[in-house]
């Protein structure tokens, strides 16, 4: 066959494969939605809705000022991506598992905790760590599921004290998921950013590639454990462009020789090296998700490219109605001095009060590390329809198994 003939044949195959994938995606989109009965979420501060506030010091204003008008346990001025996901699925906001006041777990629970990691930590909360690693979060879920099932079983088996029985059943059904709801739940994971922070701190001391491989392998073990306890529908976020977090950008830090080196920053002012590590983590994470699909044929695994969704926002900040992506709404970050949102400090004899900006909806970054509600909503709108997912299915259809 001639070279031209081979090229035509190759292009025809590519076209047919693309057409098949498009038809397949449309078939899934036109199918019945999943009708998730609950959400069980595992992660760090990107999706913590009150764990660390309940366990340690509560978040206070100006955190939560935009939507909740109170701290609300979230590292933002308002709602997080997990809140918009719950709303999209017509489910209530998730209560933090560890929060005992005014909570309901009828439609799931949130085990995410700020500063959490996939790997075990060697530091305390007072050193910037968290006791609630992914391993602990999943242990909490296992306990939650077992105790919930026990409540329902006890209520059904009792034959005396019928009035008391009816009251118990009513309470359980109002506040806890039914045993069968666990199989019809979506299991979401958004964690790994803090692990990468640890990798960055060890650059030059340990092999970054080996560290990242260990992290994603440990992640896979935790997902396998969730599967062994009945989880079947997984929605897995990769990590975002941490080099684009404003507190890491030279504009908010003291100038040094390293930041002046060509190639240190990309076209958006983001620091290249941490972003490259994030890309490597995401590549390995995606490989792990593919292997999990091959291992568990009765489960669905959706890999969500949060890096690309967030980077698209950062690259098109002005077009999307936001100020420069290096802008920080709440906090003082100048000349290497960092006073985080809601705090006070004396700098050069002057008291600095790190208050919030006039209009958080114009900013991507809330406090230099976390996103504003407006940015979270922008990102949520992009990922919910499947545009950044593999397979490219809307979240409402992500229970479809595509092996």
Residue numbers annotated as active site: 45, 367, 370
**Which strands form 108-110's sheet, in the order they lie side by side?**
108-110, 38-43, 185-190, 233-237, 300-304, 389-390
Going by C-alpha positions, the residue among 383, 259, 374, 266 that lies closest to residue 315 is 266
Please, are residues 332 and 354 in contact by the beta-carbon 8 Å criterion? yes
Task: Please enumerate in sequence order all residues whose Cβ is within 8 A of that of 303, keeping only pairs 6 or more positions apart, or say none.
Answer: 236, 238, 285, 286, 289, 389, 390
User: DSSP class of residue 115?
Assistant: T
For helices 134-157 and 162-175, the axis angle rounded to 10 degrees is 150
Q: How far apart are CA 247 and CA 339, in angstroms?
A: 11
Task: Please enumerate in sequence order all residues whose Cβ is within 8 A of that of 46, keeping only pairs 6 or more positions apart, or say none.
Answer: 75, 80, 81, 112, 190, 193, 240, 370
The 10 Å Cβ neighbour count of residue 5 is 9
Task: Please enumerate in sequence order all residues whose Cβ is within 8 A of that of 30, keeping only pairs 6 or more positions apart, or say none.
Answer: none
Q: Is the dihedral of CA 128, 130, 133, 137 positive or negative?
A: negative
Going by C-alpha positions, the residue among 54, 17, 19 that lies closest to residue 140 is 54
């Amino acid at each position: 066959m001639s070279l031209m003939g081979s090229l035509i044949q190759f292009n025809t195959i590519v076209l047919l494969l693309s057409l098949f994938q498009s038809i397949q995606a449309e078939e899934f989109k036109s199918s019945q939605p999943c009708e998730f009965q609950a959400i069980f979420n595992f992660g760090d501060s990107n999706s913590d809705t009150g764990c660390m506030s309940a366990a340690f010091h509560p978040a206070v204003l100006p955190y939560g000022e935009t939507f909740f008008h109170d701290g609300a346990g979230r590292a933002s001025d308002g709602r997080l991506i997990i809140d918009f996901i719950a709303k999209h699925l017509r489910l209530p906001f998730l209560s933090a598992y560890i929060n005992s006041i005014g909570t309901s777990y009828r439609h799931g629970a949130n085990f995410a905790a700020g500063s959490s990691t996939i790997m075990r930590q060697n530091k305390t909360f007072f050193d910037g760590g968290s006791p609630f690693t992914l391993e602990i979060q999943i242990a909490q879920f296992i306990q939650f599921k077992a105790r919930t099932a026990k409540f329902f079983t006890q209520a059904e088996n009792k034959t005396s004290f019928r009035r008391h029985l009816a009251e118990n059943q009513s309470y359980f059904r109002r506040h806890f998921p039914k045993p069968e709801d666990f199989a019809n739940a979506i299991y979401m994971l958004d964690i790994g950013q803090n692990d990468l922070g640890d990798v960055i701190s060890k650059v030059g001391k340990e092999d970054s590639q080996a560290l990242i491989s260990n992290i994603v392998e440990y992640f896979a073990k935790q997902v396998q454990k969730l599967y062994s306890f009945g989880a079947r529908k997984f929605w897995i976020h990769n990590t975002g462009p941490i080099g684009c977090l404003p507190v890491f950008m030279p504009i908010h830090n003291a100038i040094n020789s390293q930041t002046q080196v060509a190639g240190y920053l990309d076209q958006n002012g983001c620091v290249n090296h941490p972003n490259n590590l994030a890309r490597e983590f995401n590549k390995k994470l995606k490989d792990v998700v593919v292997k999990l699909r091959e291992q568990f044929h009765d489960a669905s695994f959706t890999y969500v490219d949060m890096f690309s969704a967030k980077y698209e926002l950062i690259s098109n900040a002005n077009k999307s109605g936001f100020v420069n992506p290096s802008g920080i709404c709440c906090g003082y970050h100048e000349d290497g001095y960092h006073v985080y949102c809601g705090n006070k400090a004396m700098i050069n004899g002057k008291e600095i009060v790190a208050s919030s900006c006039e209009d958080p909806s114009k900013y991507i970054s809330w406090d230099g590390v976390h996103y504003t509600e407006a940015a979270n909503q922008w990102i949520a709108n992009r990922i919910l329809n499947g545009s950044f997912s593999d397979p490219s299915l809307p979240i409402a259809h992500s229970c479809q198994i595509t092996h």
